Amino acid sequence: MDKSKRSAVIAGNWKMNKTPSEAKALLNELAPMVKDADCEVIACVPFVDLTAALEATEGTNIKIGAENCHWEESGAFTGEISPKMLAEMGVPYVVLGHSERRQYFGETDETVNKRTKAALKAGLKPIVCVGELLWERECDITEEVIARQIKLDLFDVSAEDVKKTIIAYEPVWAIGTGKTATADQAQEVCGFIRATLAKLYGQDVADAVTIQYGGSMNADNCEELLAKPDVDGGLIGGASLVAAKFQPIVAAASK
C-alpha cells in the first residue's frame, strides 16, 4: 500500500484537560520539539482553550482542532458551539463522534452524520471516530459495527469531502485503559475501513483518506502501529497531555 497518497497525521485529543493557561504552556513547550515533523501535528483542545491555543501556535506547524461541534449554524441550542463559530476563529479541525460522546452524551450515528456534513460545509476538516465495544469484538461483529458506523456517519458526504475527512479507528476497549490493540488488530480494522470506503467511493478516494488509530497509543507502541500499511497516524489521548510523551509519537510518524 502506497502511503504517500495521504498525509500522516498525529493528533492529540486533550479531552476535558488543561485550562487556557495550561494549554498555552503545553503548546509553547511542544512547538520547538515538533517543529521539524514530517507529518501533520494537531492539538484538539477544549472550546475555552481555542483562543489561547491558536495564539500559542501561530507561526508554528501545530494545527488546532475542537473536540465537537453542533450541526446548525446558530439557534436555540444552549451550551453548543457551531461549525461557523469555529471556522470564523480559524480552527481548521474538529473531532466528531468520539466514543466518549457516544457513551456519555447520547451521540448517535445520525447526529455524527449531521455534525460531519455541517463541519465540512463550514470548511472544517472533521476527524470522525469509529470503534467497537469490547462486547462487540467478543461477539465477533467488529466489522459489522465498523461498516455500519462508516456508512451512517458518512451518509451523503461527497467523495471530495471524504478526502478532507480523517477517520480515527478507536476500539472503545483500548481507550484510556492501557490496553492497546495489537498492531495486527489495528491494521485489520484500518484496512477494513479503507476497503469499506473503497466500496462506497472507489479505491482512489479510499487511498487518499487518512486513517488514524487511537487507544492507548504511546511512545512504546507507536512505531509498530504506525508501520502498518493502513495506519496513517494516531489520535492520542493521555500521551498528548505531556510534551515529552507526545513528541516521540510525532517523531515515529515522521520516519
**Of these, 24, 98, 115, 125, which contacts ligand 13P (CB under 6 A)?**
98
DSSP character at residue 182? P
Cα–Cα distances in Å, from 173 out to 125, 135, 220? 26, 9, 19
Active-site residue flag, 170: yes
Site string for ligand 13P, 4-23 (x = CB under 6 A): ---------x----------
- How far apart are the C-alpha atoms of 197 and 200, rounded to whole Å? 5
Region from 23-31, 81-89, 134-142, 215-223 binding ligand 13P, contact rule CB under 6 A: 215-223
CB within 8 A of 198, min separation 6: which ones?
Answer: 205, 206, 207
| Residue 131 makes contact with ligand 13P by CB under 6 A | no
| Residue 107 makes contact with ligand 13P by CB under 6 A | no
| Residue 238 makes contact with ligand 13P by CB under 6 A | yes
Task: Number of residues interacting with ligand 13P: please give it, by CB under 6 A.
Answer: 14
Region from 58-66, 82-90, 107-115, 169-177 binding ligand 13P, contact rule CB under 6 A: 169-177
Of 73, 175, 80, 90, which is closest to residue 125 (Cα–Cα)?
90
| Residue 222 makes contact with ligand 13P by CB under 6 A | no
- How far apart are the C-alpha atoms of 255 and 114, rounded to whole Å? 36
| Residue 217 makes contact with ligand 13P by CB under 6 A | yes
Return the exposure string of 160-173: e unless at least 16 CB atoms fall within 10 Å of the residue's CB, then b. ebbbbbbbbbbbbb
Catalytic residue among 70, 98, 107, 132: 98
| Residue 176 makes contact with ligand 13P by CB under 6 A | yes
Nearer to ligand 13P, 71 or 169 (CB): 169
| Residue 236 makes contact with ligand 13P by CB under 6 A | yes
Active-site residue flag, 98: yes
Give least dist CB 47 to ligand 13P, A.
Answer: 16
| Residue 52 makes contact with ligand 13P by CB under 6 A | no
- How far apart are the C-alpha atoms of 236 and 27, rounded to whole Å? 15
| Residue 215 makes contact with ligand 13P by CB under 6 A | yes
Of 105, 94, 37, 106, which is closest to residue 69 (Cα–Cα)?
94
Of 181, 99, 98, 196, which is closest to residue 148 (Cα–Cα)?
196
Q: Give the footprint of ligand 13P on this chain (CB under 6 A).
A: 13, 98, 170, 175-176, 214-217, 235-239
- Active site (catalytic) residues: 98, 170
